[in-house]
Amino acid sequence: MRSFEMLSVIFNILLLGWLLFAKNKPQRGLIFGFGVSAILVLMHGLMEGMRWQMIPNDLIMLIPLVVFAVRFNPKSKEETKKGSTSPARLVLLTIPAVLYTFAAVALPLLLPVFSFEKPTGPYKIGTVTYAWKDNGREETYTPESGDKRELMVQIWYPADSTAKGDPAPYVSDPSIFANGYSMALHMPKLLFTSIGFVQTNAIENAEISNQESDYPVLIFSHSLNGVKNQNTFQIEQFVSHGYIVVGIDHTYNSTTSIFPDGRVVHFVPQERNTIDYLDKLNEGWVEDAKFVLDQVEKLAENDPDHRFTDRMDLKNIGMFGHSFGGATTTQMLMTDTRIQAAINMDGGLYGKLRVPADGLKKPFLMMSADDTLAGTKNMSDANIASQGTTREELTKFFDDTFARYESVAAGGNYWMTIKNMKHMGFSDTYLISPLYERMEGVKIKKVHRLINEFSLDFFDHYLKQQPFKRLDQSIGDHPEFTLQKG
């Protein structure tokens, strides 16, 4: 809970307890209780923003007024006096009060306004968003001929130490994104409205830091039905340590993309979930990444806003991605000479090319969730049936996918398997509610620190030529992960 929310909840619980159990409730005390409660509710509304999860708590402030009206109404004074000390009456009042208090506390705790941990690096973080059109490619998702491929792209960069400004919001339009998450996760929209109050550690349009002459560049590709900023926990950590990160929304395959002219594009469900189809789909994502990298080069050469001109180290470009974005990352490492090193986070190796038996010949780190590698072993029949397939068909799909992993660590590369981990633990998703952590068994903030530690160590070594701090020293089996090197 946020600060004023927490103060309001604590005071209202104490107020409710006083109203229930205090024998004497003077007029002045009732007015004081209402006044303080109302001020705290008003403060959290003005300073932090009202949200529906706080309604049960906020309504408690009205109870002193109700008690005041009843106790100091001449017609009801005698009745109140007769029944005020009845143990049965007290029990009847206490039970619903406890249940109501539980709801008042549980709702904001289970559907919180989550926060991102403060990055550990020395740099502040700036961010800017672009809408780019690839005039060389037709958009295949629209019926109109002549439509060109358009992408929303967000860039995060090391900001000047004197940079000031309000923290950038996690999403630009809360209602639209809540609707997108609702459709993506097949859950009510109301469960995602708090995401509109989430703030990041970035400052929009901040001045770029002059501490270094230029900064290595990392391209990020999200999961199928993900978004460009879905790994903010990781992106901000990279940037705070001196990287420029470029996040891509793969339009029509992202949860939601909002363009400057107000157009909203939600995820288009995929008709077929076969390896052949995913291989073909990935080719379009690779073209997206190549186009974005072309645009990045233009910014580095001549940024109209004079922010990135000569500030991007184009000799040291890396890429990382989650799930289908991880597959795109691997393909980019194999097909684009500009990508020097890459991290695939729990992505199947879909795309045009296979990993050669003797390895990728470029630095590569594969990160996997142990639950993903278990295939259908941990999946219930109901879960499989909900995907419109059978256990036999899905098992074959996983077996064919995992067969492509055989050489990911060959040639001196790395493969980390994180224990007690699920696929979506590689993104911000589980931060939305502690229920995810409870149901999925993933200690999400601890896992995020582990991911950040090793992914930063990987890119620091290969893009900044710094000695390894953890990666090479951690080969083997550990309580939290297993790391192998080819």
% of the chain with per-residue pLDDT over 70: 96
Residue of higher predicted confidence among 279 and 185: 279
pLDDT digits (tens, 9 = 90+) for 445-484: 999 999 999 999 999 999 999 999 999 999 999 999 999 9
CATH of domain 124-485: 3.40.50.1820
Separation CA 468–CA 458 (nearest Å): 7
| Mean pLDDT of the residues in the chain | 93
Tokens read off for 101: 């208090």
For the stretch 210-220, pLDDT in tens is 999 999 999 99
For position 386, what pLDDT does the model report?
82
Q: Is residue 91's pLDDT more than 80? A: no
**What would the 3-class secondary structure string for the chain be?**
CCHHHHHHHHHHHHHHHHHHHCCCCCHHHHHHHHHHHHHHHHHHHHHCCCCHHHHHHHHHHHHHHHHHHHHCCHHHHHHHHHHCCCHHHHHHHHHHHHHHHHHHHHHHHHCCCCCCCCCCCCCEEEEEEEEEEEEEEECCCCCCCCCEEEEEEEEEEEECCCCCCCEEECCCCHHHHHHHHHHHHCCCHHHHHHHHHCEEEEEECCCECCCCCCEEEEEEECCCCECCCCCHHHHHHHHHCCCEEEEEECCCCECEEECCCCCEEECCCCCCCCHHHHHHHHHHHHHHHHHHHHHHHHHHHCCCCCCCCCCEEEEEEEEEEECHHHHHHHHHHHHCCCEEEEEEECCCCCCCCCCCCCCCCCCEEEEEEHHHHCCCCCCCHHHHHHCCCCHHHHHHHHHHHHHHHCCCCCCCCEEEEECCCCHHHHCCHHHCCHHHHHHHCCCHHHHHHHHHHHHHHHHHHHHHCCCCCCCHHHCEECCCEEEEEC
Provide the residue ranges of all domains of the chain, joining segments of one domain with +.
3-110, 124-485
pLDDT in tens, 273-313: 799 999 999 999 999 999 999 999 999 999 999 999 999 99
* pLDDT tier, 418 (very low <50, low <70, confident <90, very high otherwise): very high
Note the pLDDT of residue 260.
Answer: 95
Q: Which two tokens stand for residue 459?
A: 């890119």
Residue type, 362: K
Does residue 95 carry a pLDDT above 70?
yes
pLDDT band at 425 (very low <50, low <70, confident <90, very high): very high
Average pLDDT over residues 22-40: 90
Cβ atoms within 10 Å of 162's Cβ, excluding its own: 9
Token pair recorded at residue 187: 């859950």
The more confident residue out of 161 and 139 is: 139
pLDDT at 73: 64
Strand partners, 409: none
Q: Band the pLDDT of 83: cuts 50, 70, 90.
A: very low
> What are 482's two structure tokens?
């297993």
- Report the pLDDT value the prediction gives residue 470, as an integer from 0 to 100: 96
User: Is it the case that residue 76 has pLDDT exceeding 60?
Assistant: no
